[in-house]
Amino acid sequence: MVRPMKYIALLFILSVLVMGCEDKIGDSCSRDMDCSVDGDRSCDNSQPGGYCLIVTCSPDDCPDEAACTEFITPSPEFDSDDAEAEALYEQLAPNRSRTYCLARCRKNRDCRSGYHCALDPELDADLNGMIIDSNFEGLGVCVPNV
């Protein structure tokens, strides 16, 4: 009778461990449940192999392996006679911003295969993004290779 109880206890412990495991931000996925059983992480299937992330973050609010990154939809090019349209569009600036917890990195090898470490200059120039955490000096986020 002792053996079945040990077996049941072991199964219980293993199930608790498995249920408590979450993939890290930046891991591959095919559905949200691959990233978190709690529903606090999402799978972005538009990225190669899927990408576990958190949608909407505040500075310094992401898990340790991630950085809160803001992306802004760029303004369209306006002609000089479209000053009024440009002013109206700029009023939408707060609505053009999205934040995500993305995998934090220092070098390309910190990212999984098919991804590289985009540091602040690349984020700004090529992706219209920036890390908004307070201590991001020398850090980047893992983004797909182009």
- 94 against 57, higher pLDDT: 57
- pLDDT of 48 strictly over 60: yes
The token duo for 55 is: 């949608």
For 15, phi then psi, to 5°, come to -65, -40
Mean pLDDT of 71-97: 70
pTM of the entire predicted model: 0.75
What's the mean pLDDT when you consider all of the chain? 83
Average pLDDT of the segment spanning 121-135: 90
In percent, the amount of the chain with pLDDT more than 90 equals 58
Cα separation of 36 and 24, whole Å? 9
Backbone angles phi and psi of 63, in degrees to 5: -60, 165
Arithmetic mean of pLDDT, 93-99: 75
Tokens representing 127? 């992706």
pLDDT score for 129? 93
pLDDT score recorded for residue 19: 43
Tokens of 66: 């991630």
**Token pair for 130:** 């920036």
The pLDDT, as a whole number, for residue 124 is 87
Query: Is the pLDDT score of 140 beyond 70?
Result: yes
For 80, the token pair is: 């000089």
Q: Average pLDDT in the 39-63 region?
A: 96
pLDDT score at 120: 83
Measure the CA–CA gap between 137 and 146, rounded to whole angstroms: 24
> How many other CB atoms sit within 10 Å of the CB of residue 43?
21
Write down how long the chain is: 146
Residue 90 has pLDDT above 50, yes or no: yes
Residue 129 bridge partners (DSSP): 71
Q: How far apart are CA 127 and CA 146, in angstroms?
A: 12
SS3 state of residue 18: helix
Question: Cβ(66)–Cβ(25) under 8 Å?
Answer: yes
pLDDT in tens, 10-31: 444 444 434 445 589 999 999 9
